[in-house]
């Protein structure tokens, strides 16, 4: 019998909905901060199996979520392909600024060996989970990973990436093609190692106009879903085209994903109208509402639950947990969702 989270991701409604939270393993937890200090640097934390497994399991032990998501980073993929990556204190990720000739140096043959520690972490997590908790693997979507490579790190508007997409479409498509195949390989390895569902994070999908969104966001997602579906038909794929707004329906229809993540700005009722059932919906409490806790959080949770009752829905945030969030608020949220929005 499928675990509740997996069953809902495959399109079967359940009440109350299952729950997990983006960035549920992270800086808001004292136990994470202690382990992070022990690791020394972020890449070491992601690629040391016992450390990555422990971080993944920490929030599940403390709160009992329905899903555990592998602790890693979307930029581990270009790192595994041989592309430079470091995490600078106070800056976030720093990468070489991509040039068209760099694509030829991305070596797909490196992936299995470079990602072996990540797969070992997945196996350890799966062995440490209870029988009701599903393990979620993930990857960054090709467009979003390309954004970080082309910009050399984070960006407010990804203007350089968009300029490349307009001015050098063939070079941009070549980069996305390599990243798409690398993503298929990474997610396939994660499933083979024990992931029971996988999620595709397209964090910057919404910076593109509709004319480019279909080509550079929805089509690569369709290629990834098709490849995974042929090899692992029982494993649901969650797509998260953040900031996509009214294009959620287009994304769901073209990509063929089993579930669509909603960001904070998305109206759940509108998403339910745009995305045809049985595709599941996931989200979308504002992380700041979780930070606030109390009455504001309760009201938002009830609004989301009411909008999606009767629909296959996985309760989550619209983005990741903020580092300053009190753990007590997370416990309060989980109790509230599991009561169907009722308070004691």
Looking at 83, 148, 216, 251, which residue is catalytic?
148
pLDDT greater than 90 at residue 2: no
C-alpha distances out from residue 272 to 7, 39, 117, 160, Å: 18, 42, 39, 34
Any domain includes 287: yes
Mean pLDDT for the stretch of residues 197-216? 96
**CATH code for the domain of 145:** 3.20.20.210
* pLDDT above 80 (res 329): yes
Q: What is the mean pLDDT of residues 31-41?
A: 91
Local confidence band at 344 (pLDDT 50, 70, 90 cut-offs): low
pLDDT of residue 166 exceeding 80: yes
Q: Catalytic: 23?
A: yes
Is 343 domain-assigned? no
In a domain, 72, yes or no: yes
Instruction: Spot the catalytic one: 10, 28, 32, 36.
Output: 36
Give mean pLDDT, residues 312-337: 98
The mean pLDDT value of the chain amounts to 96
Residue 128 has pLDDT above 80, yes or no: yes
Specify the pLDDT at position 147. Answer: 97
Residue 36 inside a domain? The answer is yes
Long-range contacts of 54-59 (CB under 8 A, 24+ apart): 55/25, 56/25, 56/121, 56/125, 57/125, 57/128, 57/129, 58/25, 58/29, 58/31, 58/32, 59/21, 59/24, 59/25, 59/29, 59/330
**Domain membership of residue 292 as a residue range:** 4-338
Given a contact cutoff of 8 angstroms between Cβ atoms, the answer to whether 268 and 306 are in contact is no
Catalytic residue among 61, 62, 73, 303: 73
Contact call for residues 313 and 281 (beta carbons, < 8 A): yes
Amino acid 92: pLDDT = 85
What is the tally of structural domains in the chain?
1
Integer Cα distance of 56 and 231 in angstroms: 26
Q: Check if 27 is active-site.
A: yes
52 phi and psi angles, rounded to 5 deg? -60, -40
Query: Does the pLDDT at position 343 exceed 80?
Result: no
Based on the residue annotation, tell me whether 86 is a catalytic residue of this protein.
Answer: no
**344 within a domain of the structure (yes/no):** no
pTM of the predicted protein model: 0.96
Write the burial class of residue 190 (CB in 10 Å: 0-12 exposed, 13-18 middle, 19+ buried): buried
Is residue 130, in this structure, part of any structural domain at all? yes
For the cut 70, the answer to whether the pLDDT of residue 271 exceeds it is yes
Q: Is the pLDDT of residue 65 over 70?
A: yes
**Cβ-contact 240, 198 below 8 angstroms:** no
- The whole-number average pLDDT for the span 142-151 is 97
Residue 14 domain-assigned?
yes
Residue 190 lies in a domain: yes
């Amino acid at each position: 019998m499928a675990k509740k989270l997996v069953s809902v991701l495959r399109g079967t409604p359940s009440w109350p909905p299952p729950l997990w939270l983006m960035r549920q393993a992270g800086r808001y937890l004292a136990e994470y901060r202690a382990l992070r200090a022990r690791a020394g640097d972020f890449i070491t934390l992601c690629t040391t199996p016992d450390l990555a497994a422990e971080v993944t399991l920490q929030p599940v032990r403390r709160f009992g979520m329905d899903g555990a998501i592998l602790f890693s980073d979307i930029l581990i993929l270009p790192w595994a392909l041989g592309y430079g990556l470091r995490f600078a204190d106070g800056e976030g990720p720093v990468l070489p600024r991509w040039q068209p000739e760099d694509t030829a140096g991305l070596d797909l043959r490196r992936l299995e060996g470079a990602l072996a520690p990540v797969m070992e972490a997945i196996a350890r997590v799966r062995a440490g989970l209870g029988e009701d908790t599903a393990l979620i693997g993930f990857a960054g979507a090709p467009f979003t990973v390309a954004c970080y490579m082309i910009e050399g790190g984070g960006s407010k508007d990804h203007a350089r990436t968009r300029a490349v997409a307009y001015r050098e479409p063939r070079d941009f498509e070549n980069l996305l093609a390599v990243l798409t195949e690398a993503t298929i390989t990474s997610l396939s390895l994660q499933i083979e190692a024990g992931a029971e569902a996988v999620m595709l994070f397209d964090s910057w999908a919404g910076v593109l106009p509709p004319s480019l969104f279909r080509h550079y966001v929805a089509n690569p997602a369709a290629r990834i879903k098709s490849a995974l579906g042929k090899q692992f038909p029982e494993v649901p794929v969650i797509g998260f085209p953040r900031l996509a707004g009214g294009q959620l329906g287009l994304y769901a229809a073209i990509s063929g994903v089993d579930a669509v993540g909603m960001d904070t700005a998305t109206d759940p009722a509108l998403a339910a109208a745009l995305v045809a059932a049985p595709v599941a919906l996931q989200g979308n409490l504002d992380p700041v509402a979780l930070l606030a806790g109390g009455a504001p959080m309760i009201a938002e949770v009830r609004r989301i639950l009411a909008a999606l009752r009767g629909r296959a829905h996985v309760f989550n945030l619209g983005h990741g947990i903020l580092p300053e969030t009190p753990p007590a608020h997370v416990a309060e949220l989980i109790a509230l969702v599991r009561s169907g929005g009722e308070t004691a």
